[in-house]
Structure 1
Amino acid sequence: MAEETIEVRHLTEKDYKDLKESMVSAYADMQGSYWREGTIQRLIDLFPEGQIAVTVNGKVVGCALAIIVDYEKFGDDHTYEQITGYYTFNTHNPKGDTLYGIEVFVNPDYRGKRLARRLYDARKALCENLNLEGIVAGGRIPNYEKYADKMSPREYIEKVHDKEIYDPTLTFQFSNDFIVKKVLRNYLPNDAASKGFATLLQWFNIYYEKDRDTIRYNKSTVRIGLVQWQMRTYSGMAGLLQQVEFFVDAVSDYEADFVVFPEFFNAPLMLEFNQLDPAAAIRGLAKYTEQLREEFSRFAVSYNVNIITGSMPIVIDEQLYNISYLCRRDGTWDHYTKIHPTPSEVYSWGMKGGSDIRVFDTDCGKIGIQVCYDVEFPELSRLQAQQGMQILFVPFLTDTQNGYNRVRFCAQARAIENECYVAIAGCVGNLPRVNNMDLQYAQSAVLTPSDFAFPVTGIKADATPNTEMIVVADVDLVLLKELHAFGSVQTLKDMRHDLYEVKLKK
């Protein structure tokens, strides 16, 4: 038996004879329904890359035809004639935002070879390459005539979706990640099998970028630098800043997009206030916070890197908080206040928790910040994930391996639950002459979701435990989009919103 050769390519005017034969066979239940040669030629002239053929041994046995439209001009209530300009295709707009599928068929003599899937894959690739928002099409429901006297079109669609009923067109559309936006009436009035009804189908291009700016571009691969900071005594603020700048400089030399410092990395400056009780000493340290924020902002601009400043104490309206800053490389800055102070922070220092749970826009996507203990509360990360968080940064400070493991294991769980990257950075070493800061244990790391596209361990990179060093790792944001849409499991998409929810109270 001779081997078959299958090819997916652009349709040409020379293919019309095979095309007509296959279409007549495909639409045997709609006699006389085939595309005229002049119509096919017009489509090829208007939008050649949108007309796709599949061949078996050189014979065209199926095709996918499409135009580009400015979808807002039509909306969800339209007919096939309206969307095609009554078959003139004057609705085609090369500057539109949506690929509109006007035809897909495969000769029934060649079914069972997954040819339609190849056509759909080619159409999706075209949509991605043209940076269009997605694909929209009106779909037949040819088996509906068997159920029309028993159920409405909507009920029929639900049962097809739940695999209680098989429909040769709609079942295939569902398997190709299309959703049904609505039911269209009189979309194809001559389609007796579908009783004149059609489904308005949509496929979303997860790679779509609304504004492709060649100057302030949206990066796919983001480079993260973690500072595993050694606690040591310094000659005042000048000595501390010298070490901070050293690490910022070192990480920026690797062209990193972010550098992350640990929680309370500036604790050595508290030695100056060691004669005071712990609550007064931490408030003494807070006097340096504004100056440190200003210096970090200056470093972010001069070294062209976004900085997560670790965390520092701050006094606001006579209340003590633990604050982290995002200093962007464009000179702007923002802040996150630790939501959950640990019991020891409350007992020893009288620290209060913040109340603002949000994500931050950067030139490398949407990020979240949590400080140490916060990552042990899964609700925070879920709320940030609902706001589009792609990378979660967690500065931490832990004194024992038990405390570190709580942070590490919870951070890894957050990466899996929320389909995001989590970067944790901590302090190492000892400060024997500073109250409440005697010991530190850390192994900084960049953690990932758990699926085929990511490391099998869920660890992109990690540091040597208890050693001063930097960790530099690249993370791919496109992999997150693919995980959300096509992952082996999809924890965000599969949440039972009908059963439970996580929401802010204020």
Structure 2
Amino acid sequence: MLKRLYVSDGSRMAPAVIRNYAERDFPGLVEVQAESFPPPYPSELWWNEEQLRAHVTRFPEGALCAEVDGRIVGSMTALRRTFREGDRHDWASVTDDGYIGTHEPDGETLYVADICVRPAYRSFGLGKWLMQSMYETVVQLGCRRLLGAGRMPGYRGVSGELTPERYVAEVAEGRRKDPVLTFLLRCGRSPAGVVRDYLDDEDSCGNAALMEWRNPFKP
């Protein structure tokens, strides 16, 4: 995939590229992870070069990055899966600890392992461009849907009064805002359930919201 476009943060325009990432991009991708997921998010969950090499080898179509002025400023990584009853659903199990050894070439679901944008570039709408590009990949590959488990970092502050399910519902209803879930809703994703003990993420209290996008060209 290769898209050349101009993006704006409301005050300036900048040339941007959405493309598949390659080995030369690994240092920049690791930097993006570090900036996007600061403590208390565990640094051992940032991508490492061995994981990134697995992405571009096993499923290059699902390895996207965003570049502005020649600098890597965001990325999105996915794999294909077909989920079956009884499958364990946590980040480590679904993504093979980020090495995507669980990738199924004919899987009906395009599963998002990660999406991130450097904080200084989030006002340019690059997260939406990455998401839209992955929707196009869903259609091109003939998958039924895009699915991912979104962090819910706003939940920690209300965990004593709301269940994770109620929190997601209130965000979807517009009664609350969440830094991640509100973004996913604006990208056209819909809630499809809550997974507990999904990831060691203090802000989300270990929970994640399953968020999907259905391929409109598939029954």
TM (normalized to structure 1)?
0.40
Q: 2:148 aligns with which of 137, 142, 151?
A: 137
Q: 2:157 aligns with which of 132, 146, 154?
A: 146
Aligned Cα root-mean-square deviation (Å) = 1.7
Question: 1:200 and 2:202 equivalent?
Answer: no
Q: 1:159 aligns with which of 161, 170, 188?
A: 170
Measured in 2, the distance between the counterparts of 1:16 and 1:183 equals 32
1:55 match: secondary structure: strand
1:73 Cα deviation from its structure 2 partner: 6.3
Q: 1:74 to 1:4 in 2, by over 3 A?
A: farther
Q: 1:132 to 1:170 in 2, by over 3 A?
A: same
Question: 1:69 and 2:108 equivalent?
Answer: no
Deviations 1:409-439 (A, max 9, x none): xxxxxxxxxxxxxxxxxxxxxxxxxxxxxxx
Match of 1:8 in 2: 18
Aligned runs of 1:464-503 on 2, under 5 Å? Answer: none
Measured in 2, the distance between the counterparts of 1:88 and 1:38 equals 8
Question: 1:82 and 2:119 equivalent?
Answer: no
Indicate if the aligned counterparts of 2:66 and 2:126 stay in contact, CA closer than 8 A: yes
Q: 1:183 aligns with which of 194, 197, 208?
A: 194
Measured in 1, the distance between the counterparts of 2:97 and 2:69 equals 35
1:186 match: secondary structure: coil
Deviations 1:137-163 (A, max 9, x none): 111000111111121111111111121
Indicate if the aligned counterparts of 1:74 and 1:83 stay in contact, CA closer than 8 A: no
Q: How many residues align?
A: 207
Match of 2:117 in 1: 106
1:5 match: secondary structure: strand
Q: Which moved more, 1:86-95 or 1:169-178?
A: 86-95
Aligned runs of 1:356-435 on 2, under 5 Å? Answer: none
1:143 match: secondary structure: coil
TM (normalized to structure 2)?
0.89
Look up the equivalent residue of 2:30 and give its one-letter code.
K
Question: 1:46 and 2:61 equivalent?
Answer: no
Deviations 1:219-254 (A, max 9, x none): xxxxxxxxxxxxxxxxxxxxxxxxxxxxxxxxxxxx
Q: 1:56 aligns with which of 68, 78, 88?
A: 68
1:71 match: secondary structure: coil
Measured in 2, the distance between the counterparts of 1:201 and 1:162 equals 15
Match of 1:28 in 2: 38
Unaligned segments of structure 2, at least 5 residues: 1-10
1:3 Cα deviation from its structure 2 partner: 5.1
Measured in 1, the distance between the counterparts of 2:212 and 2:154 equals 21
Deviations 1:351-410 (A, max 9, x none): xxxxxxxxxxxxxxxxxxxxxxxxxxxxxxxxxxxxxxxxxxxxxxxxxxxxxxxxxxxx
Runs of 4+ in structure 1 deviating by more than 6 angstroms, as ranges, are none
Match of 1:125 in 2: 136
Deviations 1:246-272 (A, max 9, x none): xxxxxxxxxxxxxxxxxxxxxxxxxxx
Q: 1:73 to 1:58 in 2, by over 3 A?
A: farther
Q: 1:74 to 1:59 in 2, by over 3 A?
A: farther
1:65 Cα deviation from its structure 2 partner: 0.1
Bigger Rg, structure 1 or 2 = 1
Look up the equivalent residue of 2:96 and give its one-letter code.
G
Match of 2:29 in 1: 19
1:2 Cα deviation from its structure 2 partner: 8.3
Indicate if the aligned counterparts of 2:98 and 2:113 stay in contact, CA closer than 8 A: no
Match of 1:94 in 2: 105
Measured in 2, the distance between the counterparts of 1:97 and 1:2 equals 40
1:109 Cα deviation from its structure 2 partner: 1.1
2:51 match: secondary structure: helix
Q: 1:74 to 1:16 in 2, by over 3 A?
A: farther
Greater relative contact order (Cα < 8 A, sep 6+)? 2
Look up the equivalent residue of 1:100 and give its one-letter code.
Y
Identity over aligned pairs, percent: 27
Look up the equivalent residue of 1:154 and give its one-letter code.
E
Measured in 1, the distance between the counterparts of 2:216 and 2:12 equals 40
Measured in 1, the distance between the counterparts of 2:42 and 2:192 equals 29
Measured in 1, the distance between the counterparts of 2:59 and 2:13 equals 33
Unaligned segments of structure 1, at least 5 residues: 210-506
2:154 match: secondary structure: helix
Look up the equivalent residue of 2:69 and give its one-letter code.
N
Measured in 2, the distance between the counterparts of 1:78 and 1:134 equals 17
Measured in 2, the distance between the counterparts of 1:57 and 1:14 equals 16
1:86 Cα deviation from its structure 2 partner: 3.4
Measured in 1, the distance between the counterparts of 2:86 and 2:92 equals 12
